[in-house]
Chains A and B, each alone.
Chain A
């Protein structure tokens, strides 16, 4: 992004704020260290919590002896699950998404009977210092009776293993179906060809830069709990703490999310740890702080993915896709996290049509309990898994038909005049020009010439591969009614307040919660554009349930479309009220008032004008307002969109594999994204960069694994491979813009797009490179060893 682009933005009036590559206002405090994270906050008399966790994957707790730990210097109290039960709090971590026939086992803050995965919290130590609390952990003596465990979602269901929960004897939490099975069978029977792929999508560990943390302050005198925590959705956490774990009235809980260092989904959820922190403060009447270590993050932050899938695709010889059939076993982990049920069901199966017109789709998902860390939404959640399946199927089918994979895609793309497009997987796509984005991506790499070069290099014994990933994302899960029909226990709306202060500055209170997305910048741009003020005049406040009346939070690529949509609507209401005041004071009718660059003026008499910031002052003076108008200039908005939005795009990767060692070099990575209207191109580009990095991570490096004892084998950063910046290629990004007709500002969202696109794109490229070796698919993460084996290196 050039300086010229960046400087064009803040020209003192609102016009042009939307769409400008303004530098992120949040970066200076974050980069200079003045930004305040949960662990930076200290209250007088703060105590420190450390949590003793299960070393076993599956065991019955026989006894817990806390006496040695209690006797240690600096230790204030040691609590067990029984203590929490005896305190009488509701002690229930609820699921937030119901499915037909769902088995919902008890999920307590601290285990009382069994531990069901390594890392299950069993006891809590509160001490005067963090070190004293840590030191005491090993002096808590827990006797276990070990039980047989299962970590694989297929084994859990198919093999004769003891159940993770007695309520689910076969370890099946749900057996979900979507689509028309009969129509799909018929399509397969009629089609000329069928191609299939068996694949695994390994568990991923989110690795937010800031591990989870909480600081709780219970005030006995008022019965009020203040809880600072690493949250993507403070209001949701407040609701779950109130109704689920602590039983306090919602208006007696204040959840504050200060600076939050990344989430990728992992900070959506209500985990035991933050509730235990609050509960300990309520027991001791002192502030209690808990800061997860990186090791705890690996064991307890909800993991992502964990799918085992058989996918089939039916086509005619001319490449027309007739049907898709998918069967997946999804590992849910040992407990149902809030959206652990939604992610592998609705968020997954509904995108299996991808960018293509597919007349018949059927998907079955068996959700399995396993003795592992709970699995929930991780950047791309469900959509990433679904797009991966359809993109692998299209590639495998192209190989089967001996057709160019770009050409096969092109023949099946939903054409622009088919929108809104109702897919066979129950979604109605809003808008899209899929071929335009695909063509642009292919042009960037000079596709035809690249294929020629590939042929030439193969003759020299060099193997490059060209991977294509065409995707859609269903973003901004709403409207609430639809989400409710599908089982959601929460709404899909967003809320905000847009407020002119009396001297003309603007405060925006937003119910979403930034963890790095840049809301303070982009929301200010949205408000400034609508109100005709400078971006610098707008301050955005998020992350405090006592300051922001309501909100749903930040996840599912929803903030720009649903949160931004709410702000735009609220700002428009504010502007209209200001217009009425202007008309009154300029002594003309409202219809005669024009608005331009923050200035209301009488049509045909530009010198008779009032600036919106002057009107703000008038609105608070209240001396001269239209008859019957209340003073003040602010609006509270609730926005419930009429549909999801559907970002889309095509990514193309060029890789070279070296058969001798199996090493993979990414030569080029081109991303063409269409996220609708773009509020800030620099921020969109940043989201795409980060998303690609995580998608490449999944494709080539990451992948959590459990050993035979049910212990997480990839439990540290040197065992779980997150790629470094130097291992990533230069990203070449571009955009097409197809506005979403659904929301007031035409945006679609971009938070997850690139993660969804990058994994199938890279796998496609490696598989393409390995075509001469007869390889059409390798499971993620594709390691040098797996490539080396695939090329016959071990023969």
Chain B
């Protein structure tokens, strides 16, 4: 298939992009094109206009600022993958980045685009949920901040207003005893996740879990938090029995569907396995448990 015809706009500023959103009816936003280009090609999206935001240079950043790790709408997966900042302090981001798509796609596709696309098979939504992160959007009325847990509605559908553009995602900078991780199962390099699990653990001074965040990929209609597992973890000391139970609770809360790569029963079990592994890595990275015996 080839795309149907469309017009293309290339705004230079966020304001210009927002005013285009206001003035045009049938439009799609193009950043890295990771999802949009195939959708155009398969004519799953047939917009009259494509708003290409790649010229908005102010959105190209990945930095720590005011207690947040902020990722602008033009930061590519590869930027995260190659960031020393991320590598040192954000285990889940460092785990996820090289698992997104393939190297060519990672050079173009954006983290924010991945979140805004709201594909339940996307990796970043789970990481964002696990970190209790936020989505920053710009609309006609200026900036609006949406907590990640309130962002995802349905597959490819969010609580974003019609004329809003997502400009940033952000997560809190790490606390003293924090660790995070992401595990993903997929059939081949470049694939969407068959199952993915992101975990973030913050420990108190006594080594108990103060806060737990778990985000799951590809097992429900959106990226979802495994809240039962999170509740079960909080206030407890880390250990394989605890994580095993958390894995079970996460699996119970998930609703995967069968497809050509695996059936629902298998995926549910994998939620359990991957969640345990992500929790184990997160605890280890927080420095509260010893390195696990290697597999």
Q: Mark A193-225, 1 if CB is under 8 A from B, else 0.
A: 000000000000000000000000000000000
A721: chain B residues at CB < 8 Å are: 187-188, 191, 261
Is B154 positioned at the interface, with any CB of A under 8 Å from its CB? Answer: no
When the two chains form their complex, are residues A788 and B192 in contact, meaning their CB atoms are under 8 A apart? no
Task: Given A714-B260, A785-B266, A794-B266, check contact A724 B2 (CB 8 Å).
Answer: no
When the two chains form their complex, are residues B192 and A718 in contact, meaning their CB atoms are under 8 A apart? yes
Q: Mark B183-198, 1 if CB is under 8 A from A, else 0.
A: 0010111111000000
A135: chain B residues at CB < 8 Å are: 4
Is B9 positioned at the interface, with any CB of A under 8 Å from its CB? Answer: no
Listed from nearest, the 3 A-B pairs whose CB atoms lie closest are A724-B189, A785-B266, A785-B262
Which residue of chain A has its CB nearest to the CB of B270?
Answer: A661
Contact residues of B: prevailing secondary structure: loop
A713: chain B residues at CB < 8 Å are: 260
Q: Mark B75-111, 1 if CB is under 8 A from A, else 0.
A: 0000000000000000000000000001000000000
When the two chains form their complex, are residues B188 and A723 in contact, meaning their CB atoms are under 8 A apart? yes
A660, A718, A723, A724: the one within 8 Å of B273 (CB) = A660
Can you identify 10 A-B contacts, CB atoms within 8 angstroms?
A: A134-B1, A661-B185, A714-B260, A718-B190, A721-B187, A721-B191, A722-B188, A724-B102, A784-B262, A788-B269
A706-739 with Cβ < 8 A to chain B: 713-714, 718-719, 721-724, 726-727
A723, A724, A788: the one within 8 Å of B266 (CB) = A788
Give B residues with C-beta under 8 Å from A.
1-2, 4-5, 42, 102, 185, 187-192, 260-263, 265-266, 269-270, 273, 295
A705: chain B residues at CB < 8 Å are: 260
A779-793 with Cβ < 8 A to chain B: 783-785, 788-789, 793
Given contacts A130-B2, A663-B185, A718-B190, 14 further A-B contacts (CB under 8 A): A134-B1, A293-B1, A660-B273, A713-B260, A718-B192, A722-B188, A724-B102, A724-B188, A724-B189, A727-B188, A727-B189, A785-B263, A788-B269, A789-B266
Closest beta carbon of chain A to B68's beta carbon, Å: 34
When the two chains form their complex, are residues B191 and A718 in contact, meaning their CB atoms are under 8 A apart? yes
Closest beta carbon of chain A to B267's beta carbon, Å: 9
Which residue of chain B has its CB nearest to the CB of A296?
Answer: B1
A134: chain B residues at CB < 8 Å are: 1-2
CA–CA, A293 to B189, complex, Å? 23
CA–CA, A719 to B190, complex, Å? 12
CA–CA, A229 to B269, complex, Å? 49
Is A295 positioned at the interface, with any CB of B under 8 Å from its CB? Answer: yes
Q: Mark A495-535, 1 if CB is under 8 A from B, else 0.
A: 00000000000000000000000000000000000000000
Which residue of chain B has its CB nearest to the CB of A658?
Answer: B295
Is A131 positioned at the interface, with any CB of B under 8 Å from its CB? Answer: yes
CA–CA, A723 to B186, complex, Å? 12
Task: Given A134-B1, A660-B273, check contact A783 B187 (CB 8 Å).
Answer: yes
B5: chain A residues at CB < 8 Å are: 131
Is A144 positioned at the interface, with any CB of B under 8 Å from its CB? Answer: no
When the two chains form their complex, are residues A783 and B262 in contact, meaning their CB atoms are under 8 A apart? yes
CA–CA, A135 to B261, complex, Å? 33
CA–CA, A131 to B295, complex, Å? 53
Is A701 positioned at the interface, with any CB of B under 8 Å from its CB? Answer: yes
B2: chain A residues at CB < 8 Å are: 130-131, 134, 293
CA–CA, A316 to B191, complex, Å? 48
B4: chain A residues at CB < 8 Å are: 135
Closest beta carbon of chain B to A513's beta carbon, Å: 29
A660: chain B residues at CB < 8 Å are: 273
Residue among A130, A661, A794 with the highest chain B CB neighbour number at 10 A: A661
CA–CA, A649 to B5, complex, Å? 54
Closest beta carbon of chain A to B278's beta carbon, Å: 13
CA–CA, A134 to B1, complex, Å? 7
When the two chains form their complex, are residues A701 and B189 in contact, meaning their CB atoms are under 8 A apart? no
Residue among B1, B102, B188, B265 with the highest chain A CB neighbour number at 10 A: B188
Which residue of chain A has its CB nearest to the CB of B274?
Answer: A661
B269: chain A residues at CB < 8 Å are: 788, 793-794
Closest beta carbon of chain B to A49's beta carbon, Å: 13
When the two chains form their complex, are residues A784 and B273 in contact, meaning their CB atoms are under 8 A apart? no
CA–CA, A784 to B260, complex, Å? 12
B185, B187, B265: the one within 8 Å of A701 (CB) = B187
Q: Mark A121-141, 1 if CB is under 8 A from B, else 0.
A: 000000000110011000000
When the two chains form their complex, are residues A726 and B189 in contact, meaning their CB atoms are under 8 A apart? yes
Which residue of chain A has its CB nearest to the CB of B194?
Answer: A784
B1, B185, B189, B295: the one within 8 Å of A784 (CB) = B185
Closest beta carbon of chain B to A787's beta carbon, Å: 10
CA–CA, A721 to B4, complex, Å? 28
CA–CA, A783 to B262, complex, Å? 8
Which residue of chain A has its CB nearest to the CB of B258?
Answer: A785
CA–CA, A783 to B187, complex, Å? 8
Closest beta carbon of chain A to B280's beta carbon, Å: 13
Which residue of chain B has its CB nearest to the CB of A293?
Answer: B1
Closest beta carbon of chain A to B97's beta carbon, Å: 15
